[in-house]
Chain A
Amino acid sequence: MQLDQLLQYVLSGLSTGAIYALIGIGFSIIYNATGIINFAQGEFVMLGGLLTLSCLNLLQLPPWAAVPCAVAAATVIGLLFERLAIRPLRKPTPISLVIITIGGSILIRGLAMLVWGKDTHSIPPFSGDEPIAVGGATILPQHLWILAITLVIVVINRFYFYHTISGKAMRACSYNRTAAGLVGIDVQRMVLFSFMISSAMGAIAGIIVAPLTMTAYDVGVMLGLKGFCAAIIGGMSSGLATVVGGLILGILESLGAGLISSGYKDAIAFIILLLILFIRPQGLFGKAESERV
């Protein structure tokens, strides 16, 4: 085992891990505001990549304009999803919410297939594809973009949730929805916000990863599930814990693919998911919560 090779696995693991972290934070924002696991989260990742593609090719926008345009479009779809599918539910139970978000994810995937077809598409990298040497390993400029953007998003998130009124209101909802409502917080609006924020974050993750991995109508399923793994490892927190969860997952996956077998790469995430759920459902960093009846 070469040390260089190991470093290479770790570096590429870090950048995929950052993607998982972004998706995972999207999961936990909605979960904390509503108690819903949004099974359609991965679909917004897919939408991010494909919408950018359309902005670039169809609307002929320059990249710096295409990205925000795609994120805005994905956010609107997230808004519509909450309005049309989640809010009208009269008696939401965990099972009906699981089913409706799965239904939503299939519908979005199906529509994406009709719009963009079944082919895989590629997006040009943000700043060339000249590898940069790091120690004995190399790293692509896109990897750096991914790490930097993830960092920025996490910082913005932190600022939003701790230093703005609406962020604090959303945190209040996550602690106790009834109490938040009693002090005058518009809980429904916070729920809507949570869907919008997380679809925007999902879309950003999809955009920054697309130049590396290509994108297609069905890439959302796996990415969404891996993001969920990251969120579970992080204990469904919308902050640093999920980032660490995503990075751990990314590195383990990349090491597993390199050292064991690339065919089982995707299985690694799910084995970790099952182990965490069985042994520490509160996540690696969470405190155990007593069961409420």
Chain B
Amino acid sequence: MNRELLKFLVFSLLVLLAPLLFQGGYLMNVLVFVGINTMLAIALNLLLGYAGQISLGHAGFFGLGAYLSGILTATYGWNPWIAMPLAAVTVGLLAFLIGFPILKLKGHYLAMATLGLGIIIFIVFNETIELTGGPSGLSGIPNLSLGDFKFDSDIRNYYLVWSFTLGTVLLSLNLAASRVGRALRAVHDSEVAARVMGVNARLLKVQIFALSAVISALAGSLYAHTMTFLAPSSFGFNFSVELLTMVVIGGLGSIYGSFLGAALLTLLPEFLRAAHDYDIVIYGGLLMAMIMFMPGGLVRGIPDLLRRFAKRGRAGHA
């Protein structure tokens, strides 16, 4: 059997069985967030790890998806199953349009422009009080349901969110292995060389930006319907940085790395409840340490480290 497929099946099996370990309980709820954050980290990684384009505004797309879904269902009484794809498509279109001017920028400038975009979106969430409820938030968002089956408990939400997450993983693995994935890596390494080889780098970057926004918006919708309450503070600059940290810690250009980063950064604060005020110190320190000592992220760094130890061990014996 294909090795990649095997890996994916093992991963899916683990996801399927995980609730058996944490029968109910508070941790189940955290695992729902791990799923949502994994989707977001993968979305950002497609852009940053594969195409080499940074975004510090992804919390904005996440929030747009969440609020569109939330407003359509809570205020206007739409069916969530219609609101969700509509939100995703709308955010995707917006990203596509904005992608053309914004992705003309490179490096630091792109980082600043996406950051600005994210902050503008955040300010709009806060200020359009009649739509979003402003700083006090939007409540009364319905759970998703299939017929009479309502996704209203942690365990049900877990399977709901993770089916989307697994779908995202599968899609991204396929994308990375496809012609498009190779073109993306070419753009990452040298945009000029890629263009010479006939890759429409400009369009490709915008497309991946839009796809990344669609996945983020979808994650946002899922967040809205599992939480049933939204407040702007979840979608600020800090969350964009948190997403960036997940991607960098897990490993740029690695789908499973994104899961690892998302899981670590979502679970860590739960276990470090006592160190609550220290968490931003830890995030900052982690980000810097990873870039300095493990630029490949955990997925590449840990095997590297083990190999180095193994080598040293052998040299010691000789």
Q: Give the interface of A toward B (CB within 8 A).
A: 36-37, 39, 85, 88-89, 91, 94-100, 102-111, 113-114, 221, 225, 228, 232, 261, 263-264, 266-267, 270-271, 273-274, 277-278, 281, 293
Question: Other than the known A99-B287, A111-B281, A293-B192, what 19 A-B pairs have Cβ atoms closer than 8 Å?
Answer: A88-B292, A89-B292, A91-B295, A98-B108, A103-B286, A104-B288, A106-B241, A110-B280, A113-B277, A114-B278, A225-B115, A232-B112, A267-B124, A270-B117, A270-B119, A274-B113, A274-B116, A277-B112, A281-B109
**A97 surroundings in chain B (CB, below 8 A):** 108
Q: Are A110 and B113 in contact (CB under 8 A)?
A: no
The CA of A98 and the CA of B112, in the complex, are separated in Å by 10
**A99 surroundings in chain B (CB, below 8 A):** 244, 248, 287, 291
Q: Are B284 and A107 in contact (CB under 8 A)?
A: yes
Q: Are B283 and A106 in contact (CB under 8 A)?
A: yes
- Is B101 located at the chain interface by the 8 A CB criterion? yes
Chain A min CB distance to B292 (Å): 6
Q: Are A261 and B127 in contact (CB under 8 A)?
A: yes
Among residues of B, the one whose C-beta sits closest to the C-beta of A278 is: B101
Q: Which of B112, B123, B278 contacts A273 (CB 8 A)?
A: B112
- Is B180 located at the chain interface by the 8 A CB criterion? no
26 A-B pairs with C-beta separation under 8 A: A37-B108, A37-B109, A85-B288, A89-B292, A94-B108, A98-B108, A100-B288, A103-B283, A103-B286, A103-B287, A103-B291, A106-B241, A106-B281, A108-B284, A109-B280, A110-B278, A110-B283, A111-B281, A113-B277, A225-B115, A225-B116, A264-B127, A267-B120, A274-B120, A277-B105, A278-B102
**A109 surroundings in chain B (CB, below 8 A):** 280, 284
**B119 surroundings in chain A (CB, below 8 A):** 225, 266-267, 270
Chain A min CB distance to B54 (Å): 6
Would you call the interface of chain B mostly helix, strand, loop, or mixed?
helix
- Is B50 located at the chain interface by the 8 A CB criterion? no
Q: Give the interface of B toward A (CB within 8 A).
A: 48, 52, 54, 56, 101-102, 104-109, 111-113, 115-117, 119-120, 123-124, 126-127, 192, 237, 241, 244, 248, 277-278, 280-288, 291-292, 295
The CA of A277 and the CA of B103, in the complex, are separated in Å by 11
Chain B min CB distance to A75 (Å): 20
**B291 surroundings in chain A (CB, below 8 A):** 89, 96, 99-100, 103
**A113 surroundings in chain B (CB, below 8 A):** 277, 280-281
The CA of A267 and the CA of B121, in the complex, are separated in Å by 9
